[in-house]
Amino acid sequence: METAAIHKIGEKCLVCEMNKENGIHLWNQFLCTECEREIINTDPEDEQYQYYLEKLKSISLPTKNVKAKM
């Protein structure tokens, strides 16, 4: 009997949506090195900048139940 193993290579990038091995985590999302570099080097006046902003806005931050101390 033959078994097949599926190996996931890297993680799916938030921006380019490709599996990449190198990058950073922004809370619960992965951003590949190439997209990180593109974001850093994109002028805010460039129309591509808005695309990156929309992708980054999709990152959901955790909410915390904080009880006030009395």
pLDDT tens by residue, 11-61 = 999 999 999 999 999 988 999 999 999 999 999 999 999 999 999 999 887
Tell me the one-letter amino acid at 28. N
pLDDT attached to residue 61:
75
pTM of the model: 0.72
> How many angstroms separate the CA atoms of 17 and 10, rounded?
11
pLDDT attached to residue 5:
55
Residues 18-44, buried b or exposed e (16+ Cβ, 10 A)?
eebeebeeeeebbbbeebbeebeebee
pLDDT attached to residue 64:
72
